Structure formats: C-alpha cells, structure tokens
Amino acid sequence: MNNQAAGFRRTALHSLIERIVNATKVVDIHTHLYDPHLGPMLLWGIDELLVYHYLVAEGFRHVNVPPATFWAMSKTEQAELVWHHLFQEHSPISESCRGVLTVLHRLGLDAKERDLHSLREWFEQWPVAGYVTRCMETAGVQTIFMTNSPFDDVERPFWEAGFERDERFVAALRIDPLLTDWPNSALRLVQWGYNVGEGLSPSTLGEVRRFLADWTRRIEAKYLMVSLPPNFAYPGRHDAAQLIEGAVLPFCRDHGLPFALMLGVKRAVNPALQLAGDGVGHSDLTALQNLCAANPQNKFLVTVLARENQHELCVLARKFGNLHPFGCWWFTNIPHLIDDITRMRLELLGISFTAQHSDARVLDQIIYKWDHTRRVLTQVLEEKYWDLLCAGWEPTAAEIERDVNNLLGGSFLEFCAR
C-alpha cells in the first residue's frame, strides 16, 4: 500500500472508530452519584463542579486562607475562590479545571465570558429530573452505578423508608467501615439488630453475612465494594482479612456477586483538606494474588490507585480469569495515564477489562469524564486496529462496535453474570 493510500485508510479508520466510540452508550460502573429520589445526595450545577474535591486540592495550592476558614465559607463563596484562583488568576489547564470547561462547552454555555453569575442562572433554571436526562444523554451514559453505604447516616434512612427507583441508577454496596473500622462498625451492627461481638467468631461472621444479605436485597446491589490501603495484606489475622475470608467472600460466592477492591488509597494524609486530603501509596499486590488464587469461585473487580501498580495488575489478570481490572481511578484519571494504562491493558489483556469508570461526584461531571476518556480511547484503539490492519487483519465495523461496547461496560456485565 503506498503512503497516500495508507494515509486515506488510516483517516477512514480513525473516523470509523471515533464514530463508534462516541456512539457507544456507557455503563458507568463506579460513581458517587445518586438516584434523584435520594434528593440532596445528588450533587449538580456550577458551584458543585467548582468545589469538587479535586479542584479544592488544587485551589489550596494558591488560596491563602487556612482550610478551616475555607470550609466555613458558603459553597458559593468557595466556588468563587476556586474560580478566581484556578480559572482567572491562572489558566485552567489541569484535568479537573479542563473538565469544568468541557461540561460548560458541551452544554452550549460560553465560559469565555468568565461570568460565574450568568452561568449560575443557567443551571438554576433546570428541574433535577430533566437535568439528569440532559447530562446522561450528553455524556452518552446509559447506566450509573452508585456507591451506597449503610454506614452513611444521610443515605441509610432513604433506603430504610424505601423509595421509587430510577432504573438508570444501580446500587453497589460499599462496606469500607465494616472492614477498616470493625470495632466501631460492630457497635452499629448491634444497634441495627445484628448479634455480633467484637471477636470474629463463627456466629459473628454469620451475622455479618446476614447484614450483607439484608442490605444487598434492600438496595438490589450488583456488587460489593471496598477501598483498602497500600499495606492491605491477605491472608492475615487482622479484622479486614478475617471479615473478607469469613463473611464477604462466602456471601458473594453464595449470591454470585463480584467483590470490588480499590487498592492503594491512603486516607487523610492531610486531614485539613477533608475529602481532598486523601493520598496514594504503592500496594503490595501479593494480597490480591492470594485472594484470587485461594478463591477461584469468587469474582474480583479491581482497580489500583498507584501508577506503579498498573502493570502488575495486568499481569495478575493474565493469571486469574476471576480478576477483572477496571477504570483509571482518581489520580490516574488523567489523559496521559488513561492512554498509558489502556494501551497496556489492550496489549496484555485484549478486550477483557473495563476501560473506565467516571467516579463522578457531581452529575454534570459524567459529561467531561466520558468526553475526555472517549478522546483517548479513540486514539489508542486507532493505533491498535491499525496494527491489525498492517498484519493483514481487517476488523469489520460490527467487530469494532462489539469491542468498544465491551470496553465500556459489556465485559463488566458479562463478568458479573458469570
């Protein structure tokens, strides 16, 4: 093929992949968004976008007020401060700042006016139900997985009272306090009618399984999830390992549910920054290797926070078919690392992983998080399919559609249904 013909074919391939990636509806398998019937728990709008903890962390690199002073401000005042420092005093070039601009741009708003007041007026006109649909359609998201915790005192009463579900919002049972703060969680389980003692006896583990069953049924959870620190070890005598072994894994096995592990977060490295104060550490993935090897009947959804752990996660996924890597989590959800991680996964795992989750905390964010990921995914897939073409394999449009659908939620649904 001469260079000109190759150029035309490559351009045509790029256009085909771009069309397919942009048209594929996403299953967003981990977010902090909520069914609109959970009322104030669902965050949206320009002020929430600006006070997202990613922007707050970056803002504190410029803002010269003590954190306590910042937290005492109204959300509007906090948003004004972030806007001033990160958008007016400096170009909004970070991924989090760019994200706000992408949201505004994709919604047809003109950020160039730099007029926060008029932007606020535009958001205030929207009824939440209509805005949920507007954001999901703009983002190309068909299903949103929530993060649902019985230990959240605001959220729990909604589930105990019951409410009509919006079927676009699917539940995931988040159990961090159960595993990482068992003594205090045991006290709460006793309050809720579970006959647990602080010691992890067989009867206590049985009651923990009953707690998991009750909440899985109540919220119709499709998987259980926990985030764990870099030093998480398994097996082990510590509470988390004992509870995973004696309660979580048997429960998930009996109910055919995946257990999602998010590894490598160091909580509150700077507590003064609140949600913005968490950090990252390199995980010892021997724990994950041991979990997968010792529990072949369990399904593990896994994402790791340290860039340095990504390759090892891919190699472990090659060893264990019950390990499904997903997403470019948190500090790795930046174009440079999405490219690096996705390319590595395609080259080591083919299509058998889930390329991304948004981790959105503010509804409008799904617009930018998926726009930015789609741009990177299109570029990486073009190169990978071009490699196939150069090896004499011409993927059809239908095959590319199948692959992209799998990368954006299809492989996850297949893994869950195993």
Q: How far is the CB of 172 from ligand HDL (least distance, A)?
A: 10
209: part of which helix (H) or strand (E)?
helix 202-219
Q: How many residues lie near Zn ion (CB under 5 A)? A: 1
How deeply is 167 buried, as exposed, middle or buried, from its count of CB atoms within 10 A (0-12, 13-18, 19+)?
A: exposed
Please state the closest distance from residue 30 (CB atom) to Zn ion, in A. 6
Element containing residue 323 per DSSP (H, E): strand 323-325
Minimum Å gap between C-beta 205 and Zn ion is 27
Residue nearest to Zn ion (CB): 359
Is the CB of 227 or the CB of 379 nearer to ligand HDL?
227
The partner in contact with residue 365, picked from ligand HDL, Zn ion, none with C-beta cut-offs of 5 to 8 angstroms by kind, is none
Q: Which residue's CB is nearer to ligand HDL, number 352 or number 358?
A: 358
CB closer to ligand HDL, 13 vs 363: 363
Instruction: Report the distance separating Cα 235 and Cα 237, nearest Å.
Output: 7
Nearer to Zn ion, 54 or 83 (CB): 54
Helical (H) or strand (E) element with 144: strand 141-145
Kindly write out the interface string for residues 351-370 of this chain, putting x where it contacts Zn ion by CB under 5 A and - elsewhere. Answer: --------x-----------
Closest CB 416 distance from ligand HDL, rounded Å: 18
User: Minimum CB separation from Zn ion for residue 361, in Å?
Assistant: 8
Q: Give the distance from CA 199 to its chain's centroid.
A: 33
The residue count for the chain: 418
Write out the residues near ligand HDL by the rule CB under 6 A.
32, 147, 227, 262, 275, 278, 330, 359, 361
Q: 260 - beta bridge partners?
A: 225, 301
Interior angle at CA 299, CA 296 and CA 302, nearest 5: 120
The nearer residue to Zn ion, 126 or 151, going by C-beta atoms, is 151
**CA 355 from chain center: how many Å?**
11
Query: What does 330 bind: ligand HDL, Zn ion, none (CB cut-off 5 to 8 Å by kind)?
Result: ligand HDL
Measured from the CB atom, the residue of 36 and 327 that comes closer to ligand HDL is 327
Closest approach, Cβ 226 to ligand HDL, in A, equals 9
**Binding partner of residue 38 among ligand HDL, Zn ion, none, CB under 5 to 8 Å per kind?**
none
Query: 51-83: buried (b, 16+ CB within 10 Å) or exposed (e) per residue?
Result: bbbbbbbbbbeebeeebeebeeeeeeebbbbbb
Provide the Cα torsion 259, 265, 266, 269; round to 10°. Answer: -130
> Applying CB under 5 A, which residues contact Zn ion?
359
